[in-house]
């Protein structure tokens, strides 16, 4: 019995020595920095998050949480740790490994602005902004918007919003983040007032203007009846309101009995696929495209056909495209070329964005876009990374030797010139095709 107590006593002595040594090491670690126990404690605090990781992924995610714990327990400026930014940064890094520029993450504010834009209307002052040399600049006000009515001009620099200096608020941000920050400050509920401090370099003056916000419709369809009964229709994007605007344009054009159509898709960056199918349904009934889905399955998607009074079938058409025509605009151009009789593409090779993205809203208001398929034209041609080459190549030019009627997006112009529109009209009126060359030749 005594021998047993002696053994127990020695064990207790060793335990005490180890405990004192460990405690001494921990105290020393706290004096000079951190110790393994800090990382251990941090790991315990993140146990719930680890358990939320799906069981078949825990082994792969273990190293992620190991690094997270090391940062939490060791980073020398703990006050600089922004866990939300760490999470968002990890998501961005994960998506970047897919090497797909169209699969990406948007933080809550950027996602909200994108949703508003795609709905075809937003509440604000109605001006496009750009970032230039670290400053927020008015790119152009939207016609008939509060910004336009207040006299804002392209090139005006916004120095402050409601007396908050913008330069301080956007310092160190990327261009997209700086623009999003400025937009968030300037936008607001319709009927409220925002004060902008403006510097106008052209006049070398600074002034303040109070603007009452309003609901701003985004005009994505412009139309006009040109001479010789040629209908001109420009679609700038495929938003939720585009089909309604196109129907309004067709309702005005049909009674004038157009004998030909110019459909202008230049610099149209795309939008909703469903809207593209609806637009196509105004010009023919049939296959709109094929989606090549995961596993190589091809799904046929058809046009969405409207009532008879909203159709412009069987009328000769020239579709204008260029390097800014992308995504849904390329779907429409390719489908019209493949499926609609008496339709010709003219201009420059399109961008080559032929993949399909779903937008998934996330629980905190952020969103992620994920490529789920790629598009093929009705004839089975790929668009992605290839683009669509028009039948008639005509380079852009506003040389006066290419006089054209002024179309609706040029309302203040007196004399207009547009080589691509010039040749489109000449083809429809006279059957004359542009020279077979990389660039248009003067007539």
Q: Copy the structure tokens of residue 53.
A: 């990781």
Low-confidence stretches of the chain (pLDDT beneath 50): 8, 14-35, 39, 41-42, 411, 438-442
Please check whether residue 280 lies inside any domain of the structure.
yes
Please check whether residue 411 lies inside any domain of the structure.
yes
Q: Which residues are catalytic?
A: 327, 339, 353
Residues 285 and 379 in one domain: yes
- Predicted confidence at residue 441, as pLDDT, reads 46
Please check whether residue 398 lies inside any domain of the structure.
yes
Total domains, the chain: 3
Q: Are 231 and 405 in contact (CB under 8 A)?
A: no
Residues 238 and 196 in one domain: no
Residues 204 and 229 in one domain: no
Residues 255 and 281 in one domain: yes
- Predicted confidence at residue 44, as pLDDT, reads 53
Last residue of a domain, one of 162, 185, 217: 217
Show the domain range for 178: 121-217
Residues 279 and 419 in one domain: yes
Can you give the CATH number for the domain in which 150 is found? 2.30.42.10
Residues 69 and 176 in one domain: no
Please check whether residue 107 lies inside any domain of the structure.
no
Please check whether residue 111 lies inside any domain of the structure.
no
- Predicted confidence at residue 393, as pLDDT, reads 97
Q: In which element (H, E) is residue 209 found?
A: strand 205-212
Residues 316 and 169 in one domain: no
Residues 137 and 205 in one domain: yes
Can you give the CATH number for the domain in which 347 is found? 3.90.226.10
Residues 164 and 302 in one domain: no
Last residue of a domain, one of 168, 188, 217: 217
Please check whether residue 302 lies inside any domain of the structure.
yes
Residues 246 and 342 in one domain: yes
Residues 249 and 287 in one domain: yes
Last residue of a domain, one of 197, 217, 237: 217
- Predicted confidence at residue 60, as pLDDT, reads 85
Residues 226 and 199 in one domain: no
Residue 353, helix vs strand vs coil: coil
CB atoms within 10 A of CB 392: 18
Please check whether residue 116 lies inside any domain of the structure.
no
Q: Phi/psi zone of residue 365: left (φ > 0), alpha (ψ -120 to 50 degrees), beta? A: left
Sign, CA dihedral 208-214-219-224, equals negative
Q: Are 248 and 310 in contact (CB under 8 A)?
A: no
Residue 213, helix vs strand vs coil: coil
Q: What is the pTM of this model?
A: 0.76
Please check whether residue 439 lies inside any domain of the structure.
no
- Predicted confidence at residue 142, as pLDDT, reads 85
């Amino acid at each position: 019995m005594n021998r047993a107590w002696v053994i127990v006593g020695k064990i207790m002595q060793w335990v005490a020595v180890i405990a004192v040594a460990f405690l001494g090491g921990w105290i020393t670690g706290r004096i000079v920095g951190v110790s393994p126990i800090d990382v251990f404690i941090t790991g315990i605090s993140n146990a719930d998050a680890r358990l939320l990781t799906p069981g078949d992924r825990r082994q792969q995610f273990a190293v992620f949480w190991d690094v997270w714990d090391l940062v939490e327990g060791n980073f020398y400026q703990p006050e600089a740790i922004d866990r939300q930014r760490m999470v968002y940064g990890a998501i961005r890094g994960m998506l970047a490994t897919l090497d797909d520029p169209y699969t990406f993450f948007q933080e809550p504010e950027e996602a909200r602005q994108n949703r508003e834009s795609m709905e075809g209307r937003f509440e604000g002052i109605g001006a496009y902004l750009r970032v230039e040399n670290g400053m927020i600049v008015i790119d152009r006000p939207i016609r008939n918007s509060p910004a336009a009515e207040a006299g804002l001009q392209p090139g005006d620099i916004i120095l402050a919003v409601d007396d908050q200096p913008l330069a301080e608020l956007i310092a160190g941000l990327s261009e997209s983040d700086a623009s999003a920050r400025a937009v968030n400050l300037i936008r607001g509920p319709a009927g409220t007032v925002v004060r902008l401090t403006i510097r106008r370099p052209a006049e070398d003056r600074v002034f303040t203007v109070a603007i009452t916000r309003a609901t701003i419709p985004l005009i994505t369809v412009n139309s006009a009846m040109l001479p010789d009964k040629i209908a001109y229709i420009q679609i700038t994007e495929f938003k939720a309101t585009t089909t309604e605007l196109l129907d309004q344009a067709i309702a005005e054009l049909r009674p004038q009995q157009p004998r030909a159509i110019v459909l202008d898709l230049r610099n149209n960056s795309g939008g909703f696929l469903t809207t593209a199918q609806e637009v196509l349904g105004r010009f023919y009934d049939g296959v709109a495209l094929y989606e090549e889905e995961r596993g190589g399955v091809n799904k046929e998607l058809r046009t969405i056909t409207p009532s008879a009074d909203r159709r412009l079938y069987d009328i000769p058409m020239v579709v204008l495209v260029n390097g800014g025509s992308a995504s849904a605009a390329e779907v429409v151009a390719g489908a019209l070329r493949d499926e609609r009789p008496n339709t010709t593409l003219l201009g420059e090779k399109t961008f080559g964005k032929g993949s399909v993205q779903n937008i998934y809203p996330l629980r905190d208001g952020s969103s992620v876009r994920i490529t789920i398929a790629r598009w093929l034209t009705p004839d089975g041609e790929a668009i992605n990374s290839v683009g669509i080459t028009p039948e008639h190549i005509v380079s852009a030019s506003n040389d006066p030797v290419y006089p054209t009627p002024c179309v609706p997006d040029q309302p203040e112009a007196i004399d207009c010139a547009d080589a691509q529109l010039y040749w489109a009209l000449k083809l429809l009126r006279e059957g004359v095709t542009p020279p077979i060359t990389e660039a248009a030749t003067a007539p």
